[in-house]
Amino acid sequence: MGKISLALITKNEQENIQICLNSIGCLADEIVVVDTGSTDSTLEILAKQPRVKLFQFEWKNDFSKARNYAIDQCTGDYILVLDADEYITFGKRSELEKVVKQNQIGRIKIVSKFKKDGEEFEAISYISRFFPNSVRYKGAIHEQLNSNLPRVDMKLTVSHSGYFDKDKSARNIPILLQELEKHPNEAYFHYQLGKEYRLSKNFKESWTHLQQAYELVNHRDAYYNKLILELLQTGKELVDKETISVIHKNEQILNNVTDFHFYKGLFYLDYCLKHLNEAIPLLPKIEESFTACLEISKKKHIEYLSGTGSFLALYNLGVYHEAIGSMVKAKRYYMESARFGYEPAKKRLEAI
């Protein structure tokens, strides 16, 4: 079976790089690391790794250029790409070899931990990271593989700590604005910029770019679901009525996505609180949305944010019933959520 190279780019990753390298095991025959200007002890750590082939590359505000330079240094038939703040938690060499045999692109499962309002959450996504040496990246940020080869989800799981308690929008927004100057009608860049603005709590700018992405996007695009979820989250923050139209148009397309019903429920909850005069006909939609999360989770479904099909939906059903004075039901839902170990549910139970 063909030779596999790991391609990694680094900059000031002294806290993560050793954990990442320790997780590789026999998955790769060669480890190529390209450093883009570390000023901490990353280079010293790398210098002590016998398996690492270390190269330097001047950072040009373009992730594709750095990644493609790393691939150029690899001698493997297939390339596995990781970030330095990621580490493999599950996966066998045979899983990679299966993809090599079929000449496909492998998508790895990435579990990202992040904090929001002091709470810890876990998001799951599948990203194309294993591909033939002939394939290269395009795009200065949130770079994509430039290939039409078939893509397949692999049984390879990676844990990502990069966004935990960190805000990378100060780095990402200028690069995305630069890309949009070159490609003003590129839906993907508008989507990514809208997401960055939401994370930095600039909701008006977020809404503007997400709406532009929505007008330009094709619903078959790989990120379509996530674009709609971004619109719902920003629409909730702005309590924007246009969000209702986005919900109606996507009921069928995203029907099996627990996150869609979850964010829909959160939107209606906030909307009803702010527009009491319009709230009466919309009130049932709150309960319907969170209940749908639980129903969908029992069959084949998509769940990006862990808990939207279980403890998060149960907790918010508790919030809804507490708000309308239905305390018996509220307690029941809080108890069910608390059984999953969800701390806010335990706190509500103590308080009521």
Which of 31-45, 264-278, 283-297 shows the lowest mean pLDDT across its residues? 264-278
**Tell me, what's the pLDDT at 166?**
66
121 in Cβ contact with 114 (< 8 Å): yes
Q: In what order do the strands lie in the sheet with 52-56?
A: 52-56, 30-35, 4-10, 78-83, 119-132, 105-116, 151-160, 86-90
φ, ψ for residue 112, nearest 5 deg: -105, 130
Angle at 156 between CA 10 and CA 222, to 5 degrees: 80
Largest CA distance in the chain: 68
Span 252-280, mean pLDDT? 94
Q: Would 59 be classed as within a structural domain?
A: yes
Give yes or no for residue 164 having a pLDDT over 70. no
7-16 pLDDT, tens digit per residue, is 999 999 999 9
**Tell me, what's the pLDDT at 317?**
98
Do residue 146 and residue 183 come from a single domain? Answer: no
Do residue 183 and residue 140 come from a single domain? Answer: no
**CATH number of the domain bearing residue 42:** 3.90.550.10
Nearest to 224 by CA among 271, 270, 188: 188
**CATH number of the domain bearing residue 179:** 1.25.40.10
**Tell me, what's the pLDDT at 174?**
95
Residue 150 token pair: 């078939």
- DSSP sequence for 47-93: HT-TTEEEEE----S-HHHHHHHHHHT--SSEEEEEETTEEEEE--H
pTM flag (> 0.85): yes
Span 169-180, mean pLDDT? 92
CB atoms within 10 A of CB 178: 14
Q: Would 210 be classed as within a structural domain?
A: yes
Nearest to 63 by CA among 138, 158, 12: 138
d(CA 168, CA 179): 17
Q: Would 77 be classed as within a structural domain?
A: yes
d(CA 242, CA 264): 13
**Tell me, what's the pLDDT at 165?**
56
More confident residue, 162 or 242: 242
State the chain's mean pLDDT as an integer: 95
Give yes or no for residue 27 having a pLDDT over 90. yes
Q: Is residue 303 very low, low, confident or very high in pLDDT (cuts 50, 70, 90)? A: very high
**Tell me, what's the pLDDT at 326?**
96
Q: Would 164 be classed as within a structural domain?
A: no
Span 172-199, mean pLDDT? 96
Q: Would 162 be classed as within a structural domain?
A: no
Do residue 327 and residue 192 come from a single domain? Answer: yes
Do residue 185 and residue 293 come from a single domain? Answer: yes
Do residue 10 and residue 41 come from a single domain? Answer: yes
Give the end of a domain, one of 157, 189, 221. 157
Q: Is residue 279 very low, low, confident or very high in pLDDT (cuts 50, 70, 90)? A: confident
Do residue 152 and residue 173 come from a single domain? Answer: no
**Tell me, what's the pLDDT at 161?**
83
213 in Cβ contact with 191 (< 8 Å): yes
Span 295-306, mean pLDDT? 97
Span 249-265, mean pLDDT? 98
Which own/partner contact pairs does 314-319 have at CB distance under 8 Å and 24+ positions apart? Answer: 314/290, 314/340, 314/342, 314/345, 315/342, 315/344, 315/345, 315/348, 316/262, 316/265, 316/266, 316/269, 316/290, 317/287, 317/290, 317/291, 318/345, 318/348, 319/269, 319/348
Span 249-273, mean pLDDT? 97
Span 127-143, mean pLDDT? 96
Do residue 49 and residue 125 come from a single domain? Answer: yes
First to last CA, the chain: 62
Structural domain that includes position 66: 4-157
Do residue 28 and residue 104 come from a single domain? Answer: yes
Do residue 194 and residue 288 come from a single domain? Answer: yes
Q: Per residue in 232-261, is it b (16+ CB within 10 Å) or e — as a string? A: bbbbbbeebeebbebbeebeeebeebbbbb
305-321 pLDDT, tens digit per residue, is 999 999 999 999 999 99
Q: Would 163 be classed as within a structural domain?
A: no
Do residue 128 and residue 61 come from a single domain? Answer: yes
Give the end of a domain, one of 157, 178, 196. 157
Q: Would 269 be classed as within a structural domain?
A: yes
Nearest to 261 by CA among 224, 221, 288: 288
Span 143-172, mean pLDDT? 87
Give yes or no for residue 162 having a pLDDT over 70. no
Do residue 115 and residue 176 come from a single domain? Answer: no
Helix axes 276-296, 311-323, angle to 10 degrees: 150
Give the end of a domain, one of 95, 122, 157. 157
Give yes or no for residue 135 having a pLDDT over 80. yes
**Please, how many CA atoms are within 13 Å of residue 240, restricted to the half-sphere of its CB?**
18
Length of the chain, in residues: 352
Give yes or no for residue 322 having a pLDDT over 60. yes
**Tell me, what's the pLDDT at 79?**
98
Residue 166 token pair: 């960190």
- Count up the domains in the chain and report the number: 2
Q: Is residue 265 very low, low, confident or very high in pLDDT (cuts 50, 70, 90)? A: very high
d(CA 182, CA 335): 52
Span 85-99, mean pLDDT? 97
Q: For residue 244, how far is the Cα from the chain centroid?
A: 24
Q: Would 83 be classed as within a structural domain?
A: yes
Do residue 67 and residue 141 come from a single domain? Answer: yes
